[in-house]
């Protein structure tokens, strides 16, 4: 089943939620975390944000009609990549990623978001371990497996 270009567009822009972006309007440039967007008029909310004059805002709402460009400057939490990591533990089809809800469901009972793992029991603990390693890898960057392994060994000694 093919997707329409509009669906793909909104999936891409939804993927920018929680990412650091630069928003260019006719007379200002804003930088901050994209917190949300309104689909009809393409209005957005940034926060915390800063304009090109150094003014800081806890939250700023920018009406879509004034936006010329939205540029991703730093990646948000990559739930698609986390889904792929978690999928290695479970049979095909048991791990589902819902981009619009920014969540992953495992076995229809364990919910994973960028904020953590909701669920209990041994399966939830396995998912939690994958989540924690994924977050550590994000913090230390690619190629940090050796450092993470050393940290794991140190934790186990305690």
Element (DSSP H or E) covering residue 74: strand 67-74
Percent of the chain with pLDDT over 70: 87
Q: What mean pLDDT comes out for the span 9-15?
A: 82
Lowest-pLDDT range, 16-20, 96-100, 121-125, 145-149?
145-149
Residue 1: pLDDT above 50? no
Strands 56-57 vs 44-51: parallel, antiparallel or unpaired: antiparallel
Ordered by start, the domain boundaries in the chain are 5-74, 79-157
Is the pLDDT higher at 24 or at 8? 24
Query: What b/e sequence results for 15-27 when a residue is b if at least 16 CB atoms lie within 10 Å of its CB, and e otherwise?
Result: bbbbbbbebeeee
Block residue for tokens 């469901």: 105
Q: What mean pLDDT comes out for the span 32-51?
A: 93
* DSSP symbol at 148: H
Please report which confidence band the pLDDT of residue 87 belongs to, taking 50, 70 and 90 as the band edges: very high
Residue 142: pLDDT above 80? no
Residue 82: pLDDT above 70? yes
What whole-number distance in Å separates Cα of residue 64 and Cα of residue 2?
28
Q: Average pLDDT over the chain, rounded to whole?
A: 87
What pLDDT does 136 receive?
85
Does the domain at 79-157 match CATH 3.90.1150.10? Answer given as no
Q: What mean pLDDT comes out for the span 135-156?
A: 66
Fold of 5-74: SH3 type barrels. (2.30.30)
**In angstroms, how far apart are the furthest CA atoms of the chain?**
58
């Amino acid at each position: 089943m093919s997707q329409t270009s509009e669906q793909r567009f909104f999936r891409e822009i939804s993927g920018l939620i929680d990412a650091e972006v630069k928003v260019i309007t006719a007379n200002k440039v804003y930088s901050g975390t994209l917190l949300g967007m309104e689909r009809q008029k393409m209005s957005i909310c940034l926060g915390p944000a800063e304009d090109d004059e150094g003014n800081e805002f806890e939250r700023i709402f920018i009406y879509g009609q004034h936006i010329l460009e939205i540029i991703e400057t730093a990646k948000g939490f990559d739930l698609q990549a986390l889904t792929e990591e978690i999928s290695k533990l479970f049979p095909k089809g048991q791990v589902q990623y819902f981009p619009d809800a920014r969540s992953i469901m495992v076995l229809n009972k364990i919910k994973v978001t960028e904020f953590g793992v909701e669920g209990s029991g041994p399966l939830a603990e396995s998912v939690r371990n994958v989540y924690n390693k994924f977050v550590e890898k994000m913090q230390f960057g690619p190629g940090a497996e050796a450092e993470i392994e050393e940290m794991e060994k140190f934790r186990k000694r305690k």
